C-alpha cells in the first residue's frame, strides 16, 4: 500500500476521533461493553497498583544504595513462607513496576529529569552518599574510584520514589471509579474520563519531595525548593514514557543495529501500551504478561464472566485482559489530553479552537499509528 493511500485511510479516521473529542467524547468510543471492560479492568489495576506503589516506595526509602537488595520485594516483612511463595511465583510481579520505572528513567522528560542533572541535586545526593558509605569501606572505595556511579544510583532511586508517588494517587482513583460505577454514578466512557481528569487536576499541584533516613537522620534528595509537582513532573513523564514510547519487546524485534528494526531516533519510539500488540501477551520475556497475570487475580466477577463466555473461554484470558487494559489506557490518555489542553475541547471560540488544534495535532498524528483503530 502506498503512503498516499495510507494517508487517505488515516485522515478520515483522525478527523472522526478529533470530532469525537470536541463533542465531549473520548479516544475510545462509548458503548456499554467498553464501559464495563474499562471500569472492571481499572478496578483490578487499582488493586495491583496499590501493591506496586508500596513496593517502589519501600525500595526507594529502605533499600537506598543497597547494591544487592535480595529481599527488596518483601517490603521489610520477610519470612520463609513468603520466600517459598516468591520462588513458586505465587506473588505480585513487582518486576513489572521496575520495568515501567526504568522506562521513565531512560526516557526522562519534565522537571524531575532536569532537576536530576542540576548542581542542587548533586549537592543533596552527595550528602546522602557520604552518610551511607561512611561505615562501609568497600562502598567508599567504589565511590572514590567511580564518583559518578553512586550519583546515578541515587537518580535511579529517585525514579523508584517518583513512580511510587504517581501510582499512590492513581490506585485509589481507579478504585473509587469502580465504587462510583457500582453506585450507578458512572454511566459512560466520558464519565470515566471526567473522573480520571478530575483526579489529575485536583492533585496537579501537589508537591513531590523525596528524602531518605540514614543512621536515624533524614537526608533530602528532592526538596520542596525543587518545585516539582504531581502532574507535570511525575504524571506527564509517565504517560510519555510508558503510554507512548517504552521499549521494544525483546524477542519480537531485533536489537541488532544492522537489522534497522528499531529507530535510531528515540523520539520515534512507538512501543508503549497504546501501541503494543496484544497477541504476544502470555509469551516469555514480554513484560506486560507480568501485569496481566497480576490483574487476573483481582478481576471483578462481572468482567471475568464476560471473558469466560467469549471465544476460547479462559484459554486466552491474558490477551482479553490486555485488550481491556489498552481500552482503559486510551481513556486515561484522553483525561490527560483534556487536562493539558489550553482550552476546553468543546469550545466554540475560533481562537481557542485554533490553539486546541495546534495542541492536538501532534498527539493525533502519533495516535494514528497506535492500536486505537483496532479497539472499537
Nearest partner of 336 among 246, 288, 274, judged by Cα: 274
> For residues 195 and 174, what is the distance between their CA atoms, to the nearest angstrom?
9
CA distance 155 to 227: 17
Q: What is the pLDDT of residues 240-253, one digit of tens each?
A: 999 999 988 887 88
- Give the model's confidence band at 1: pLDDT under 50 very low, under 70 low, under 90 confident, else very high: very low
Please write down the HEC assignment for all residues of the chain: CCHHHHHHHHHHHHHHHHHHHHCCCCCCCCCHHHHHHHHHHHHHHHHHHHHHHHHHHHHHHHCCCCCCCCCHHHCCCCCHHHHHHHHCCCCCCCHHHHHHHHHHHHHCCHHHHHHCCCHHHHHHHHHHHHHHHCCCHHHHHHHHHCCCHHHHHHHHHHHHHHHHHHHHHHHHHHHHHHHHHHCCCCCCHHHHHHHHHHHHHHCCCCECCEEEEECCEEEEEECHHHCCEHHHHHHHHHHHHHHHHCCCCECCECCCHHHCCCCCCHHHCCCCCCCCCCCCCCCCCCCHHHHHHHHHHHCCHHHHHHHHHCCCCCCCHHHHHHHHHHHHHHHHHHHHHHHHCCCCCCCCCHHHHHHHHHHHHHHHHHHCCCCHHHCC
What is the pTM for the complete model shown? 0.92
Model confidence pLDDT, tens digit, residues 257-314: 888 888 888 878 889 999 988 888 877 778 899 999 999 999 999 999 999 987 777 8
Query: What pLDDT does residue 67 have?
Result: 86
Is the confidence at residue 346, as pLDDT, over 90? yes
Match 483525561 to its residue by C-alpha cell. 335
Give the Å distances, CA to CA, from 274 to 48, 228, 333, 340. Answer: 20, 27, 9, 18
Lowest mean pLDDT among 23-32, 178-187, 266-275, 293-302: 266-275
Q: Which residues of 348-371 are buried (b: 16+ CB within 10 A; e: fewer)?
A: eeeebeeebeebbeebbebbbebb
Distance CA(243)–CA(288), nearest Å, equals 12
Contacts of 57 (CB under 8 A, 6+ apart): 160, 161, 164, 165, 168
Residues with Cβ within 8 Å of residue 190, at least 6 apart in sequence: 24, 25, 26, 30
Count CB neighbours of 156 within 10 A: 18
What average pLDDT does range 49-55 have in this prediction? 97
Report the alpha-carbon distance of residue 127 to residue 103 in Å, rounded. 27
Give me 57's grid cell. 516506595
* Digit-coded pLDDT (tens) for 357-372: 999 999 998 998 898 8
Amino acid at each position: 500500500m502506498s503512503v498516499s493511500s495510507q494517508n487517505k485511510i488515516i485522515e478520515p479516521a483522525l478527523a472522526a476521533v478529533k470530532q469525537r473529542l470536541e463533542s465531549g467524547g473520548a479516544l475510545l468510543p462509548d458503548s456499554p461493553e467498553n464501559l464495563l471492560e474499562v471500569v472492571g479492568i481499572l478496578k483490578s489495576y487499582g488493586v495491583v497498583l496499590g501493591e506496586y506503589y508500596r513496593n517502589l516506595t519501600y525500595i526507594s526509602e529502605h533499600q537506598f544504595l543497597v547494591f544487592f537488595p535480595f529481599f527488596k520485594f518483601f517490603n521489610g516483612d520477610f519470612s520463609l513462607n513468603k520466600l517459598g511463595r516468591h520462588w513458586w511465583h505465587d506473588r505480585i510481579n513487582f518486576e513489572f513496576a521496575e520495568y515501567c520505572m526504568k522506562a521513565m528513567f531512560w526516557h526522562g522528560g519534565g522537571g524531575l529529569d532536569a532537576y536530576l542533572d542540576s548542581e542542587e541535586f548533586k549537592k543533596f545526593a552527595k550528602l546522602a552518599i557520604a552518610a551511607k558509605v561512611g561505615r562501609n569501606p568497600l562502598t567508599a572505595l567504589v565511590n572514590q574510584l567511580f564518583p559518578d556511579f553512586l550519583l546515578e544510583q541515587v537518580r535511579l532511586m529517585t525514579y523508584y520514589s517518583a513512580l511510587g508517588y504517581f501510582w499512590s494517587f492513581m490506585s485509589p482513583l481507579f478504585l473509587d471509579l469502580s465504587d462510583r460505577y457500582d453506585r450507578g454514578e458512572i454511566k459512560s466512557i466520558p464519565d470515566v474520563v471526567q473522573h480520571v481528569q478530575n483526579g489529575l487536576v485536583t492533585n496537579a499541584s501537589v508537591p513531590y519531595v523525596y528524602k531518605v533516613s540514614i543512621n536515624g537522620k533524614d537526608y533530602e534528595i528532592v526538596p520542596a525548593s525543587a518545585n516539582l509537582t504531581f502532574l507535570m513532573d511525575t504524571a506527564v513523564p509517565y504517560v510519555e514514557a510508558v503510554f507512548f514510547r517504552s521499549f521494544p519487546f525483546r524477542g519480537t524485534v531485533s536489537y541488532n543495529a544492522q537489522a534497522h528494526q528499531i529507530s535510531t531516533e528515540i523520539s520515534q519510539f512507538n512501543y508503549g501500551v497504546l501501541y503494543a500488540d496484544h497477541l504476544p501477551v502470555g509469551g516469555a520475556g514480554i513484560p506486560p504478561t507480568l501485569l496481566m497475570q497480576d490483574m487476573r487475580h483481582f478481576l471483578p466477577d462481572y468482567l471475568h464472566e464476560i471473558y469466560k463466555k467469549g471465544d476460547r473461554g479462559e484459554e486466552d484470558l491474558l490477551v482479553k485482559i490486555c485488550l481491556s487494559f489498552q481500552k482503559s489506557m486510551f481513556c486515561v490518555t484522553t483525561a490527560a489530553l483534556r487536562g493539558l489542553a489550553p482550552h476546553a475541547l468543546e469550545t466554540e471560540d475560533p481562537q481557542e479552537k485554533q490553539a486546541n488544534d495546534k495542541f492536538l495535532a501532534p498527539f493525533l498524528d502519533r495516535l494514528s499509528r497506535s492500536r486505537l483503530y483496532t479497539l472499537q
